[in-house]
Chain A
Amino acid sequence: MKNKFNLLFSFLFIGFCFTVFFKGLNNPNTYTPKFDNKKKIPIFNVKEFGSNNYINSDKVFRGSNYYILNIWASWCAPCREEHPWLMELSKNQSIKLIGLNYRDDLNNAKKFVNKFGNPYSQNLIDDDGTLAIEFGAYGVPETFVINKDKMIIKKFVGPIDQKKLKEIKLIIR
C-alpha cells in the first residue's frame, strides 16, 4: 500500500515538473521588465549640445504635455534605421522630443544630426552612459514616453518602427 502511495505521489510530482518545463519552453528567456508602476524620471544635471554649461532636468522637462526621450548614438546602426520615424515624430507640436546622446564622440554626433537631420528640440550628452542607467535603460536605442507630471508611462527597447510610432501617437493623443 505504501508502495502504491509512493508511486502515485511520484507520478504527480513528475507530471507537475513536466508541465512546468513544457510551459517554460514557450516563454522567452530574455527579460523585458514588467512595466506596471509609473516611475518618476530621475533628477539630473547634464551638458547639452552646443553649450558648455550644465542644464538641470527641470529646465529640460518643462513646457509640454508629453516628452519623448530617445537614447541614441552615431555609432549605433539601428539608430540610423529609426531616424526617419523620429523625424516624423518631431513634427508633432504637442510633444517635446529630447535626445540623449549615449557614450558618443561629440563631433561624430554633431555630424550625424547635420547629415541626417535633427529631430530633437534638445540634445543631452551622456558620454559615460550613467544617465541612461538612471533611466533604467539597457543601451541604444531606447525610447521613453514621459507625461507632463514627469512620469515614465511607456518604454520601448530597440529601434522605433512604424508600429511603435503608431503606439506612441495613440498615447500622446
Chain B
Amino acid sequence: MLANQIGYYSLILGLLFSVLLCGVSIKDFGESNKKINQNILSLTFLQLVFVIVSFLSLIISFINSDFSNEIVFNNSHTTKPLFYKISGTWGNHEGSLLLWLLVLTLFIFLFLIKSKEQPKKYRILTLLFQQIIIIGFFLFVLMTSSPFNYLFPIPNEGLGLNPVLQDPALAIHPPILYLGYVGTSIIFSSSLAAVMQNYVSKQWGQHIKKWVLVSWIFLTIGIMLGSIWAYYELGWGGFWFWDPVENVSLMPWLTLTALLHCIVVLESRAELTSWVVILSITTFTLSMCGTFLVRSGILNSVHTFANDPARGIFILIFLFVLIVLSLVIFFIFHRENNKSSNNFFWLSKETSILINNWFMMYFLSVVLIGTVYPIFLDVISSEKISVGPPFYQKLIVPFLIPFLLFMSLGPRLKWIKSKIENKSSLIITFAISAILTFFIIKNLTTDLLFYILLISAAFFLFFTTLKELLLKKFKNISQTSAHFGFSLLILSILFNSILSSEITTNIKVGEKYNYKKGEIFFKKIEEKQESNFNSIIGYFEIKNENGKIIELKPEIRVYNQPIVITSEADIKTTLIEDNFLVMNLVKGNEYFNIRYQVKSFMIWIWISVLLISFGGLISLVNTKYEK
C-alpha cells in the first residue's frame, strides 16, 4: 500500500542525504569560514524529516492493520486496542530499528542547533562521525531488516502481538529507553571530534555535560519503566532478574554515571581528559554491543528479539568497525595533558570521583563478564554454564558497603586538597545509623552482621544527604538529591527483600485458607469479555491479623490471537507495602493455585529512581541558567 512505498523510499532518501551530508561537510571543513554552511543544517533537518515520515508511515500501516506489510502481519491484529496497535510499531525488531534511526537523526540535528557557539570544525566532525553511525544503521535496515516488506497475497488477519507486551509501561519503555541508550551516540561522536581537534577542555566539558545528562536521565527512567513492567507483568513480583537484556541496558548506564562524575572534574579542573574520552567511547560501544547481544540470537533470554545470525554478523562487523575507528583516532590524535599536576591529593574531590569511577568500573566488569562469559566458555571449550542472580548479588552487594560510605564522604571534600569537616557530626550520624539498623533488623534476619553493615552504610548516606537537603544548601542540590535518591533506593530494596512474605496454596471457590498472619477467602469467579481476550476474574478477600480486609481480583486471560493464556496479577499499592495476588489453573475442576505476596516498600523503589533522575534534571536546568 501507499504507506509502505512512502516509508521505504523515505529511508532510501535518508541514506542518500547521509552521503550528501558527508560530502558537503567535508568540503565545508576545508573552507575558512568561521560559520558552518547553512545548507548542512537544512540537510540534517531534512534527513530527520525523512526518518520521521518513514516512522509515521509504519505507524499508519499498523493503525490501519495493513497486512500487506509483513511486519504488521507478524505483530498485529485487527482486534488489538488502538494504543497497542501504535506501540506495536516499535515492539518488534524492524520497527525498533526505525526508532534507533529516529533518535540518531534527531540528536544530531538538535546538537547542531544547540552548539552554535562551539568551534566549527568540531561540529562538522561530530556530524561526520554521527553520519557514519547513521549510514551503518540505514544499511542494516535496508539490507537485513526492512520494515516495509510486502506480503502477497494479502492476509486477512495478522498473527497478533504477544499479550505480555500489551502493557502501558512496556509501550513507552522503548522510546524513553532509546532516547537515553541511542542518545549516547552523540557523546561518542562528539568525543571523537573533540579528540581530533584537541578540544577536550573545560569548555568542551561544560558543553557536553548537557548531552550526558539528557542521555542519563532518559536511560535511568527507561530502565525503571522496564523494571516496572517486569514487576507488573512477568514472573511473581520480581523487578530485576539479571537477565542478559536487562544487563545490556544497565552497562551503558554504569559507564554513563561514571562519565557524568568525570565531566564534573573536567569542567572544573580540566583533568582526566583521556579517561573522559575513553568512557564516552565505551558507553556507546556498550550500547552497540548490547544491540548485538540482544538481536543476534547469541543469548538465551526471556525478551530477545527474533533470532537471525545474518543480522548478528552485520551488527558484529559494524560494532567492531566503530571500535577500531575510535581506537585509531584516540591513539593518533590524543595528546597528553601538559600539566604536571596529573596526580591528585588523596583527600580531595578529584580522588573521591576517581574512587566512584573505580567502583563503577568494577560493577561494570561484573555485569559484563557475567553476561558474556558463557558465550566465551561455550566457544572455547563447549561447556555450557548459566550465570544468574546469585553471581551478580555475591559480587556486587558486598562492595556496596564501602561504596555507600564513599558516597557520603566524597561530596564533602573540596577540590585539590581538602579535609573532612565536622568529623564529630559524621561519627555521630554513623553511630545513629548503626544503632537504628541494629534495633530494626535484629529479629528479622540471620545474616545479622552483613545486613547491619550494609543497611547502616545506606542509612549513613541517607542521613548525611537528608541533612544537606534540610539545611537548604542549594549549592549542590542536584548531586545531593541524586545521592539521597540512591540511598533511598538501596534502603527500599533491602527492606523489601527482608520484610516481604509470600504464601502459595491451592484453593477453590468458597473456601477459606488460614495462614499464620490471617486468612484468604475465595469469594467468587466472574467472566469478562474484551475485544481480544476472555478472562476469568477471581474475587478474593484477604484479612490480616489486624482485621483489615483487602480485596484483590487477579485474572486469568485467554487471548484470541495468538492463543496465549496469561495470569494478570492484582496489586494494591500503598506507601507501606504492595499486596500482590496471582492465580493459576490447576488440574481438575475447581481448584486454583494462588500466590499471595506482601511486598514491603515496593513503591519506594520507583520513587527513589525518579528522585535520582530528578537530581539529574535539576543539574540540567542549572547548566542552562549558567549560560
A residues in contact (CB < 8 Å) with B: 3, 6-7, 10-11, 14, 18, 20-27, 29-31, 34
Complex contact A14–B299 (CB within 8 A)? no
Give the residue name and chain of the B residue nearest to A3 (CB).
B331
Known: A26-B309, A29-B297, A30-B300. A14 touches B324 (CB 8 A): yes
Query: Top 5 nearest A-B pairs by Cβ distance?
Result: A24-B375, A25-B312, A23-B379, A7-B331, A29-B300
**Majority SS of interface residues in chain A?**
helix
Choose among A14, A24, A31 the residue with the greatest number of B CB atoms under 10 Å from its CB: A24
Choose among B297, B323, B375 the residue with the greatest number of A CB atoms under 10 Å from its CB: B375
Complex contact A21–B298 (CB within 8 A)? yes
Contact partners of B296 in chain A: CB under 8 A: 25
* Complex Cα–Cα for A31 and B313 (A): 22
Complex contact A27–B378 (CB within 8 A)? yes
Complex contact A10–B320 (CB within 8 A)? no
* Complex Cα–Cα for A20 and B298 (A): 11
Chain B 307-326 residues near chain A, CB threshold 8 A: 307, 309, 312-313, 316, 320, 323-324
Known: A24-B378, A26-B309, A31-B384. A18 touches B298 (CB 8 A): no
In the complex, whether B380 has a CB less than 8 A from a CB of chain A is yes
Contact partners of B331 in chain A: CB under 8 A: 3, 6-7
Contact partners of B391 in chain A: CB under 8 A: none
Contact partners of B299 in chain A: CB under 8 A: 29
Complex contact A21–B316 (CB within 8 A)? yes
B residues in contact (CB < 8 Å) with A: 292, 296-300, 307, 309, 312-313, 316, 320, 323-324, 327, 331, 375-376, 378-380, 382, 384
Known: A6-B331, A7-B331, A29-B297. A22 touches B324 (CB 8 A): no
* Complex Cα–Cα for A20 and B547 (A): 60
Contact partners of A31 in chain B: CB under 8 A: 384
Known: A20-B376, A20-B380. A25 touches B320 (CB 8 A): no
Give the residue name and chain of the A residue nearest to B378 (CB).
A27
Contact partners of A21 in chain B: CB under 8 A: 292, 298, 316, 375
Known: A7-B331, A14-B323, A29-B298. A22 touches B380 (CB 8 A): no
Give the residue name and chain of the B residue nearest to A32 (CB).
B384
Complex contact A25–B327 (CB within 8 A)? no
* Complex Cα–Cα for A87 and B84 (A): 49
* Complex Cα–Cα for A33 and B303 (A): 23
Contact partners of B320 in chain A: CB under 8 A: 14, 18
* Complex Cα–Cα for A161 and B627 (A): 74
* Complex Cα–Cα for A6 and B379 (A): 26
Contact partners of B323 in chain A: CB under 8 A: 14
The smallest C-beta distance from A151 to any residue of chain B, in angstroms, reads: 23
* Complex Cα–Cα for A14 and B331 (A): 15
Contact partners of B380 in chain A: CB under 8 A: 20
Contact partners of A20 in chain B: CB under 8 A: 375-376, 379-380
Q: Which residue from B298, B324, B327 sits with its C-beta under 8 Å from A24?
A: B298
Give the residue name and chain of the B residue nearest to A14 (CB).
B323
Give the residue name and chain of the A residue nearest to B376 (CB).
A20
Contact partners of A27 in chain B: CB under 8 A: 378-379
Known: A18-B316, A22-B313. A11 touches B300 (CB 8 A): no
Contact partners of A6 in chain B: CB under 8 A: 331
* Complex Cα–Cα for A30 and B384 (A): 10
* Complex Cα–Cα for A34 and B296 (A): 24
The smallest C-beta distance from B229 to any residue of chain A, in angstroms, reads: 24
The smallest C-beta distance from A115 to any residue of chain B, in angstroms, reads: 22
* Complex Cα–Cα for A3 and B334 (A): 10
Give the residue name and chain of the B residue nearest to A10 (CB).
B327
* Complex Cα–Cα for A23 and B376 (A): 9
Known: A6-B331, A14-B327. A25 touches B384 (CB 8 A): no
* Complex Cα–Cα for A26 and B292 (A): 14
Contact partners of A29 in chain B: CB under 8 A: 297-300, 307
* Complex Cα–Cα for A165 and B625 (A): 77
The smallest C-beta distance from A21 to any residue of chain B, in angstroms, reads: 6
The smallest C-beta distance from A37 to any residue of chain B, in angstroms, reads: 15
* Complex Cα–Cα for A57 and B547 (A): 53
Contact partners of A22 in chain B: CB under 8 A: 313, 316
Q: Which residue from A18, A23, A25 sits with its C-beta under 8 Å from B297?
A: A25
Contact partners of B382 in chain A: CB under 8 A: 34
Q: Which residue from B300, B313, B324 sits with its C-beta under 8 Å from A25?
A: B313
Contact partners of B376 in chain A: CB under 8 A: 20, 24
* Complex Cα–Cα for A23 and B309 (A): 11
5 intermolecular pairs with C-beta atoms under 8 Å apart: A14-B323, A14-B324, A18-B316, A25-B297, A34-B382
* Complex Cα–Cα for A113 and B112 (A): 74
Contact partners of B312 in chain A: CB under 8 A: 25
Give the residue name and chain of the B residue nearest to A16 (CB).
B376
The smallest C-beta distance from B85 to any residue of chain A, in angstroms, reads: 31
The smallest C-beta distance from A20 to any residue of chain B, in angstroms, reads: 5
Choose among A3, A11, A22, A29 the residue with the greatest number of B CB atoms under 10 Å from its CB: A29
Contact partners of A7 in chain B: CB under 8 A: 327, 331
The smallest C-beta distance from A65 to any residue of chain B, in angstroms, reads: 33
The smallest C-beta distance from A125 to any residue of chain B, in angstroms, reads: 14
* Complex Cα–Cα for A27 and B384 (A): 11
Contact partners of A10 in chain B: CB under 8 A: 327
* Complex Cα–Cα for A101 and B324 (A): 57
* Complex Cα–Cα for A139 and B376 (A): 29
* Complex Cα–Cα for A27 and B323 (A): 24
Contact partners of A24 in chain B: CB under 8 A: 298, 375-376, 378-379
Give the residue name and chain of the B residue nearest to A127 (CB).
B587
* Complex Cα–Cα for A12 and B283 (A): 21
* Complex Cα–Cα for A128 and B289 (A): 43
The smallest C-beta distance from A100 to any residue of chain B, in angstroms, reads: 18
The smallest C-beta distance from A9 to any residue of chain B, in angstroms, reads: 11
The smallest C-beta distance from A94 to any residue of chain B, in angstroms, reads: 35
Give the residue name and chain of the B residue nearest to A22 (CB).
B316
The smallest C-beta distance from A91 to any residue of chain B, in angstroms, reads: 35
* Complex Cα–Cα for A10 and B327 (A): 8
Give the residue name and chain of the B residue nearest to A31 (CB).
B384
The smallest C-beta distance from B503 to any residue of chain A, in angstroms, reads: 21
The smallest C-beta distance from B193 to any residue of chain A, in angstroms, reads: 20
* Complex Cα–Cα for A26 and B296 (A): 10
Contact partners of A30 in chain B: CB under 8 A: 300
Give the residue name and chain of the A residue nearest to B310 (CB).
A25
Contact partners of A34 in chain B: CB under 8 A: 382
* Complex Cα–Cα for A31 and B327 (A): 36
* Complex Cα–Cα for A67 and B539 (A): 51
Give the residue name and chain of the A residue nearest to B296 (CB).
A25
* Complex Cα–Cα for A67 and B296 (A): 41
* Complex Cα–Cα for A110 and B210 (A): 71
Give the residue name and chain of the B residue nearest to A23 (CB).
B379
Give 18 A-B pairs besides A24-B375, A29-B298 with Cβ atoms closer than 8 angstroms.
Answer: A6-B331, A7-B331, A11-B327, A14-B320, A14-B327, A20-B375, A21-B292, A21-B298, A22-B316, A24-B379, A25-B297, A25-B312, A25-B316, A27-B378, A29-B300, A30-B300, A31-B384, A34-B382
